[in-house]
Amino acid sequence: MNSGLRRRKNIARTALPTAVLLLIGSAVTVQSSAPAAAAETTLRAAAAKAGLFFGVAASPNRLYPIVGQEFNQLTPENDMKPDRIATSSGGLQNTSGADTLVNHAQSNNMLVRGHTLVWHSQAGALQGASQATLNNFIGNAINRWGSRIAYWDVVNEALEDNNTGRRRNQWPHTMNRDANGDGDFFDSGDTDVIRDSFIRARQVVQAGGLTTKLCINDYDVDGLTVQGGTPNRKADALYDIVRNYRQYIDCVGFQAHFNDNPNSIITNDLQANIQRFADLGVEVHITELDIDDDLSNNDIGTGQAENYRKVVRACLNVAQCTGITVWGISDSESWRSSERGLLFTGGNGSYQKKAAYHAVLDELNKGRSSTPPPTTPPTTPPVTPSVPPTTPPVDPTTPPPTTPPPTTPPPTAGCSATVSLDSWTGGFVATVRVTAGTASISRWSVQLTLPSGATVTNTWNANRSGTSGTVQFSNVSYNGSVNGGQSTEFGFQGVGTATGLTPVCTAA
Ligand code: XIL
């Protein structure tokens, strides 16, 4: 068997969000013991098999057959932006372009990403609006399409350029107030348009019983570092926002407009950055991918096709990276046509595949990696002193020291666990958070009893014994060590209904 076939045979079955599961239907039920399947010939089929969506930015005048053939997710490139659809009081207008796109997506079995609700740019009649008006618009827009929109970009491009790590110094962020002057907007007395917009969006989703997931989206947040190994402070700032507002945020979009700007290149730590967001429990998406073909001229890539391959591989290697969207079909129709950053040449419905297309298809066909990379760096071995410690000779005349009884018992290894469930008819994904007690732990296990009829089909970040009834999970090599008071997460996916799970955590 050639190595390509062997790799495909070993494709890991991965955690999938409800939206992706609905979209790919039976594709995820393929057992790893099944014979290797033939390579898929479209991006959407190859992506679905690997458990993610592959989407495109679209406009109503370019809904050519290729859109539904190659892609299974659609983002309106301009038709859902406030300058198209918002009135100055937060009402809706001119939604026909957006409606056309949502209908087209639905009839071609594609997911929709709504783009975007709160943004300094293309704000139209909302420019300068109050939070109350923004909230009105958020409610109207989310409710218009309801669960037909799988993901909404609630807040877009909140962070400043040039790797400062600060919020933008322009509307709507001018509404922000740092009440206690501690340099952030995370305190309850602070005003933060990001938090307040997500709170509003969350209320609307909950009140309507919608399945829509709520995302924050930005650019130059792709790597842990930027050119020259400088920390990516913009990515760090986004990470802090997601960590602080985790209860309102379901997903993070890395726009991934890669070009020669020092803060916009592809760095080798893209996958590690995706992983750290995934470790917060959110889905990660590459939302607006295009790659300047001049990137082959600097030292971070050997050409556009290879650069595309790197980005797709980084996403595939993280189970919670559940979708990639390219920002247009062909170079000539791209917002940055001079960079020739997309997968096709041609235009007006007649397109030719580039080398980058074939690289992406090939990489998707390889599927996800079977073993996730470590999420925590390996611990360094203790330093051995160069001079061995000398034991002082025992003086026989000195009485042995008496040890006073301890007044507080030493901390014992312990842990607790909580489960959060994402359920749909006939299936569920459970995320289990393991938190160490006051002492650090070096390994843990969690026991859960599933209701009858529920069966685990897939697990990540844990070893498992059993699939139904009482099931035991234990740490894998890279997440057993948890410092006192700190947490780690694992997850599993199953069929049936999993309510009332009571995890029992033990640690050593
Ligand atoms: C771009 C569109 O592609 C252009 O057609 C439009 O003129 C300007 O906006 N980040 C975003 C997208 O979030 O909405 C932008 O789309 C590209 C950058």
Cα distance from N-terminal residue to C-terminal residue, the chain: 43
- The pLDDT value given to residue 420: 86
The whole-angstrom separation of Cα 40 and Cα 360 is: 12
pLDDT at 481: 84
Measure the CA–CA gap between 277 and 283, rounded to whole angstroms: 8
Q: Please state, as a whole number, how many other Cβ atoms lie within 10 Å of the Cβ of residue 59.
A: 15
Which structure tokens are listed for 456? 């685990």
CA distance 448 to 470: 6
Q: Name the residue with tokens 């790919």.
A: 24
Counting ligand 1 atoms within 8 A of each CB, the residue from 61, 77, 151 with the most, and so the one to mutate, is 77
* 422 close to 428: Cβ distance less than 8 angstroms: yes
Give residue 144's Cα distance to chain centre: 26
Nearest CA to ligand 1 atom 5: 335
Atom 15 in ligand 1: residue holding the nearest Cα: 77
Residues 6+ apart with CB under 8 A from 154: 116, 117, 118, 138, 197, 198, 201, 214, 215, 216
- Average pLDDT of the segment spanning 217-225: 98
pLDDT in tens, 129-166: 999 999 999 999 999 999 999 999 999 999 999 999 99
- For ligand 1, atom 7, name the residue with the nearest CA: 335
Identical fold, 43-366 and 415-507? no
Task: Give me ligand 1 centre to Cα 57, in Å.
Answer: 10
Our measurement of the distance from residue 208's CA atom to the centroid of its chain's CA atoms, rounded to an integer in Å, reads: 24
Provide the residue count of the chain.
Answer: 508
- Report yes or no: 345 and 351 within 8 Å, Cβ to Cβ: yes
Which residues form ligand 1's pocket by a CB distance below 6 Å? 77-78, 156, 255, 288, 335
* Arithmetic mean of pLDDT over the chain: 86
Tell the residue nearest (CA) to atom 13 of ligand 1: 156
* 70: nearest Cα among 21, 37, 109, 101: 109
Q: What confidence tens digit (pLDDT) does each residue in 90-128 have?
A: 999 999 999 999 999 999 999 999 999 999 999 999 999
Q: How far apart are CA 476 and CA 456, in angstroms?
A: 18
For the whole model, what pTM was predicted? 0.71
CA of 341 to the centre of ligand 1 (A): 14
Distance 76 CA to ligand 1 centre (A): 10
Ligand 1 centre to CA of 77 (Å) is 7
When the candidates are 2.40.320.10, 1.10.630.10, 3.30.70.1290, 2.60.40.290, the CATH number that belongs to 415-507 is 2.60.40.290
Q: Which of 83, 122, 159, 325 to mutate to test the pocket of ligand 1 (most atoms within 8 A of CB)?
A: 122
Beta strands 73-76; 53-58: pairing state: parallel
Give the residue numbers annotated as catalytic, written as ranges. 288
Sign of CA dihedral 436, 439, 443, 445: negative
Residue whose CB lies within 8 A of the most ligand 1 atoms, among 78, 285, 326, 329, for a mutation test: 78
Ligand 1 centroid to 115 CA: how many Å?
10
The per-residue pLDDT for 476 is: 76
Domain ranges in the chain are 43-366, 415-507
Please write the tens of the pLDDT for every residue from 22-79: 554 433 333 344 455 689 999 999 999 999 999 999 999 999 999 999 999 999 999 9
Q: Is the pLDDT of residue 391 over 70?
A: no
The CATH H-level superfamily of 43-366 is: Glycosidases (3.20.20.80)
Q: How confident is the model at residue 242 (pLDDT cuts 50, 70, 90)?
A: very high
> pLDDT at position 165, please?
98
